[in-house]
Structure 1
Amino acid sequence: MKLLTAAQTRALDEGTLQAQGISSLELMERAATALLNWLLDTLHPAYATPFHILCGPGNNGGDGLALARLLHQAGYQPRVWLLPATKHSADFTANRRQLPTDVPCQELRAGHLPAWPAGAVVVDALFGTGLSRPLTGLAAEVVAHLNQCPALRIAVDMPSGLLADAPQPADSPVVQAHYTLAFELPKLAFLLPGNAAAVGEWAVLPIGLDAEVIHKTPVDNYLIEDNLLRGRLPKRPRFSHKGTFGHALLLAGSHGKLGAAVLAAGACLRGGVGLLTVRVPQVGYSVLQATVPEAMCLPDPAPAFLTALPDLTPYAAVGIGPGLGQADESRTVLQQLLETARVPLVLDADALNLLGTHRELLDLLPPDTVLTPHPKEFERLMGEPARDDYHRLEQLRGFARQHRSYCLLKGAYSALATPDGTVYFNTTGNPGMATGGSGDVLTGLLLALRADKRLSPLDAALLGLYAHGRAGDLAARETGEAGLVAGDLVRCIGPALQELTTDTRALLP
């Protein structure tokens, strides 16, 4: 699913009108109908539920006026509140004329704003994606007042005051919506952590915007959906053998951090690798043999951390980092790996911390390396903090381009930047995955997929990212989010991948 800018969204609306031969009022009616259906299907409101529709002077306000009319026709008693303005859009004016006379409609007044009580539904249709500057004056007062009211707040397309394509100025007023309802496509702003309190839960309402126009619109940002990935993981041939799916090497673990190696190894095996060898310090030998018997253990000469890189000839992919530690000897192992590897690499955890400390090693990254930093690890890789969410996104895009790598920034809506600068945001996962070891599981899963030569680097990264989150969602069904631990993710990787496997029956006519 594409993520469009505000300008592209306006162009999509215009393109839809031309392609489908409809008027802007007809398109607005579709939007208002979609809003009505969502409200009725999701909230199941009683007819006595107080609906308050806040309308600005533009097309966002026109959506609100059309919604008020449809609510009235459905048997509800909405009340409309207008933001005073000297100019209104043509579609606002047309819908204002169509509003039944028995729908209460009055202007908002500074210092005399209504109390929107608990049990009421307030629909924010003040400003949409076209807003280019922070709210001031009465609009800012209305938003601040609304945020203090106990009513349910629902934003139309965008919470009023939130900028669609730019960082939010400090302390600028923004509606703190409980729900944001976007038309046809989500907005990039929904996926950035600094906007979470304003956006709340969001949903996309189809309104028939033209698919061909969307297809032809070039974008740098995508939202991953299962239909993008379904079928990209090939079905296993009947006459497969261990070598079909690759032999992976995992360099992980140090004294006190062997659990990371165990989790990553388990995830790699559940991810479908043909063979797995795990290089751990000697202190981890018996641990690995007992906890992950399906993996071969190759102990390092040193007792507590890794000091020597084994011969890489047998391996189809190498992962390094979980529980590695940051000893100088381990840094040397990482450097030797970067200098000599001719197979795909997956770097995480302490491998990233070593890169951040010894940033000259970044120039050694082989093309198509996968890196999986969390925000603080990414800050160390960059050598500077991001100014805001948009700056961090551009840093991520620039890092992937510069180092010809796949850089996966972990978090809610984890973002995968590719060597061509495209960024894919993930839709799976839940807050229960915010627990120690989740990243180690991701490393192991990605390592298994990179060892499978049937997959392109992009497909392997996308499948790993999506299936990791999906495993978390499947696990949370059983344990709840609070009770989820990283080992639950390992157990659910298989079912998550199975959902994405090619089913040849789907190819039949």
Structure 2
Amino acid sequence: MKIFSKEQIYEGDRLTAERQKISSTDLMERAGTEIFNWIHLRMQGAQVPIHVFCGIGNNGGDGLVLARHLILDGYNVNTYIVNYSDKRSKDFLINYDRIKNVTKKWPELLKSKVDFPEINPEDIIVDAVFGIGINRPVVDWVKALFMHFKASKAFTLSIDIPSGLFPDQAVEDEDAVVYAGYTLSFASPKLTFFLPQTAKYTVQWEVLNIGLDQEYLYKTKTEVELIGKHEVLPNYIPREKFSHKGQFGHALIIGGSYGKIGAVTLSSKATLSAGAGLVTVYIPKCGYTALQSSFPEAMVITDVDEKLITSINFEMEPTVVAFGMGVGVNNKTIDAFEVFLKKHKTPLVIDADGINILAKKKALVKLLPSQSVLTPHPKELERLVGAWKNDFEKLKKAKAFSKKHDIILLIKGAHTITVFNDKLYINTTGNPGLSTAGSGDVLTGIIAGLISQGYNPLTATIFGVYLHGRSADIAVEDFGYQSLIASHVIEYLGKAYLDLFKQPEEIEHQEMDEENEN
């Protein structure tokens, strides 16, 4: 799913009106009607008090359309105008006149705190104060209104975006933003819904189709894409009947140090489970018995050193190399990695201490092969690109780093983001159960396994992040968040692959069968 920028949405509105030969007021009517339909489907005429708070711009106009339809359908509606300025948009004024023509209970004008209405926890708040066009700080009394919403504990539904939340920049004052239980967004969700510092302002979101020009939506390229099943499935490479292991590459996994052989073992297992034909693991001597015993499918090469990677020598020709899991940052290891980078230009996935080595000796970044994949957790990312003040600055730094060095960079989180040049790919799978030791090692192995099979590095990263999260989503049904461990993600990877081809009705029937069994 594309995530359109503010400017692209405005252009989509303009083109839609032009191509469909309708006015902007007609488009507003369509948007407000869709919101009404969404609410009416769920409430079916229930007489819960609904408080619709309208700003004086186009977002407020959407709110007025909604309020009018609610009134005409007999709902218990209170409408308010949040009068934060003397200026009004044209479409707001048109819909202000229209609502006055259908009810004697005209919208109440709010000018200060003394005008705030009483809101009970059982009521519903509709937030239509500010839209994506907000470009200035919220005045104090409007900020107090938003805090009044929150204190009421009433369910809050925001139109397009929670008021006070910017679609393309950070929030400076957390109290100057509406905390929505649900947001109905037009055209696409907003980038800000998926970032750690701003996702909290809406618990859930949904995109409403308001009939924007389909050709424009289809042809317009966006800098941000939301990745789900429908986005990754076309990239899946099926296997033919007479295929053999030699067709799916030979991955080399380099890592481990004394006490940290588990990390490289997890990565290696994930690589093979993701579909690599062969896996060889390069480790210090101390890990030989442990790895051969726990993972008999792998081949093992040991370093001359007992406890560290001090030299990287092998005769094989790997399809992909994954480096860094549990390897440490000893100077001998750093030197060995530098020699390796100077000799080999094999596709490369780097994680954990491999990234810490790059941060410690930044000159090595220039030696990375084109489109190498780096999979840091937040602290490792900070060491690599520098500290940031907010999530938007973090994205800016990550994009600049990716573009400068021609590498693929992950920003791990609840919505892991794959960054390549100026493009962002936001993942939709995964859950808090992945907050466990080794889950990053597994992700690195999955990406390496996909590259080994012939997926290009960017596709492998996007697909790998999706499969990693989806495997955890399936596994968590059996283990719960607290008991999910990295090994479970590997064990359920096959189910994540199979899930790609399940139709919604199959999933529904399976869930019903499982409930009946319980």
Q: Please report the TM-score for the alignment, with normalisation by the length of structure 1.
A: 0.93
Matched residues in 2 for 1:480 and 1:22: separation? 51
2:142 aligned with 1:143: no
2:353 aligned with 1:350: yes
Q: How has the CA–CA distance of structure 1 residues 347 and 228 changed in structure 2, closer, same or farther, with 3 Å as cutoff?
A: same
Partner residue of 1:337? 340
Partner residue of 1:126? 129
Output one character per residue of 1:242-293: Cα deviation in whole Å (capped at 9) or x when no partner: 1100010101222222221221112111100000011122222222122212
Q: Among 388, 391, 395, which residue is 2:397 paired with? A: 395
Partner residue of 1:59? 58
Partner residue of 2:276? 273
Q: How has the CA–CA distance of structure 1 residues 162 and 299 changed in structure 2, closer, same or farther, with 3 Å as cutoff?
A: same
Map 1:301-312; keep pairs closer than 5 Å: 301-311=304-314
Map 1:79-478; keep pairs closer than 5 Å: 79-84=78-83, 85-99=85-99, 100-103=102-105, 105-112=107-114, 113-170=116-173, 173-311=176-314, 313-382=316-385, 384-418=386-420, 420-453=421-454, 455-478=455-478
In the alignment, is the contact (CA less than 8 A) between 2:9 and 2:187 conserved in 1?
no
Shift of 1:377: 0.6
Matched residues in 2 for 1:103 and 1:336: separation? 78
Matched residues in 1 for 2:374 and 2:472: separation? 20
Q: How has the CA–CA distance of structure 1 residues 73 and 472 changed in structure 2, closer, same or farther, with 3 Å as cutoff?
A: farther
Shift of 1:332: 2.1
Output one character per residue of 1:375-407: Cα deviation in whole Å (capped at 9) or x when no partner: 21111112x201221111111111111111111
Matched residues in 2 for 1:483 and 1:16: separation? 50
Matched residues in 2 for 1:485 and 1:25: separation? 53
Output one character per residue of 1:157-212: Cα deviation in whole Å (capped at 9) or x when no partner: 11111122222224561112222221120111212211122233222222221121
Q: How has the CA–CA distance of structure 1 residues 354 and 301 changed in structure 2, closer, same or farther, with 3 Å as cutoff?
A: same
Q: What SS does structure 1 have at the residue aligned with 2:156?
A: strand
Partner amino acid for 2:107? C
Shift of 1:40: 4.3
Matched residues in 1 for 2:174 and 2:159: separation? 22
Shift of 1:102: 4.9
Partner amino acid for 2:103? T
Partner residue of 1:77? 76
Q: How has the CA–CA distance of structure 1 residues 312 and 180 changed in structure 2, closer, same or farther, with 3 Å as cutoff?
A: farther
Q: How has the CA–CA distance of structure 1 residues 330 and 494 changed in structure 2, closer, same or farther, with 3 Å as cutoff?
A: same
Q: How has the CA–CA distance of structure 1 residues 440 and 71 changed in structure 2, closer, same or farther, with 3 Å as cutoff?
A: same
Matched residues in 1 for 2:208 and 2:458: separation? 29
In the alignment, is the contact (CA less than 8 A) between 2:4 and 2:190 conserved in 1?
yes
In the alignment, is the contact (CA less than 8 A) between 2:162 and 2:179 conserved in 1?
yes
Shift of 1:90: 2.3
Matched residues in 1 for 2:132 and 2:409: separation? 29
Identity fraction in percent: 38
Matched residues in 2 for 1:145 and 1:423: separation? 36
In the alignment, is the contact (CA less than 8 A) between 1:133 and 1:163 conserved in 2?
no
Matched residues in 2 for 1:245 and 1:138: separation? 63
Q: How has the CA–CA distance of structure 1 residues 79 and 436 changed in structure 2, closer, same or farther, with 3 Å as cutoff?
A: same
Output one character per residue of 1:445-485: Cα deviation in whole Å (capped at 9) or x when no partner: 011111122x2222212211211111121122222223322
Shift of 1:502: 12
In the alignment, is the contact (CA less than 8 A) between 2:50 and 2:77 conserved in 1?
yes
Partner amino acid for 1:417? V
Q: What SS does structure 2 have at the residue aligned with 1:178?
A: strand
Farther off after superposition, 191-200 or 357-366: 191-200
Partner residue of 2:508? none
Q: What SS does structure 2 have at the residue aligned with 1:429?
A: coil
Partner amino acid for 1:94? I
Shift of 1:109: 4.0
Partner amino acid for 1:161? G
Partner amino acid for 2:19? A
RMSD (CA atoms):
2.1
Partner amino acid for 1:314? E
Matched residues in 1 for 2:140 and 2:410: separation? 41
Shift of 1:226: 2.2
Matched residues in 2 for 1:372 and 1:45: separation? 48
Farther off after superposition, 118-127 or 29-38: 29-38
Matched residues in 2 for 1:148 and 1:468: separation? 39
In the alignment, is the contact (CA less than 8 A) between 1:312 and 1:341 conserved in 2?
no
Matched residues in 2 for 1:90 and 1:322: separation? 59
2:497 aligned with 1:497: yes
Shift of 1:439: 0.6
Partner amino acid for 1:416? T
In the alignment, is the contact (CA less than 8 A) between 1:247 and 1:315 conserved in 2?
yes
Partner amino acid for 1:5? S
In the alignment, is the contact (CA less than 8 A) between 1:318 and 1:343 conserved in 2?
yes
In the alignment, is the contact (CA less than 8 A) between 1:134 and 1:172 conserved in 2?
no
Partner residue of 1:49? 48
Q: What SS does structure 1 have at the residue aligned with 2:2?
A: coil
Shift of 1:74: 3.7
Partner amino acid for 2:142? A
Output one character per residue of 1:121-172: Cα deviation in whole Å (capped at 9) or x when no partner: 1011001001011101432221222222211112111111112222222456
In the alignment, is the contact (CA less than 8 A) between 2:146 and 2:175 conserved in 1?
no
The count of aligned residue pairs is: 499
Shift of 1:67: 1.3
Q: Where do 5+ consecutive residues of structure 2 fail to align? A: 504-518
In the alignment, is the contact (CA less than 8 A) between 1:128 and 1:156 conserved in 2?
yes
Q: What SS does structure 1 have at the residue aligned with 2:483?
A: coil
Matched residues in 2 for 1:46 and 1:307: separation? 72
Matched residues in 1 for 2:373 and 2:428: separation? 20
Shift of 1:71: 2.3
Partner residue of 1:16? 16
In the alignment, is the contact (CA less than 8 A) between 1:316 and 1:451 conserved in 2?
yes
Farther off after superposition, 353-362 or 105-114: 105-114
Shift of 1:302: 1.9
In the alignment, is the contact (CA less than 8 A) between 2:61 and 2:95 conserved in 1?
yes
Partner amino acid for 1:269? L
Shift of 1:328: 1.8
Matched residues in 2 for 1:387 and 1:22: separation? 43
Matched residues in 1 for 2:175 and 2:221: separation? 31
Partner residue of 1:506? none
Matched residues in 2 for 1:427 and 1:297: separation? 35
Output one character per residue of 1:293-324: Cα deviation in whole Å (capped at 9) or x when no partner: 21112222222222221225331111011111
Farther off after superposition, 424-433 or 443-452: 424-433
Matched residues in 2 for 1:482 and 1:251: separation? 30
Output one character per residue of 1:412-464: Cα deviation in whole Å (capped at 9) or x when no partner: 2211111x4222111111222111111111000011111122x2222212211
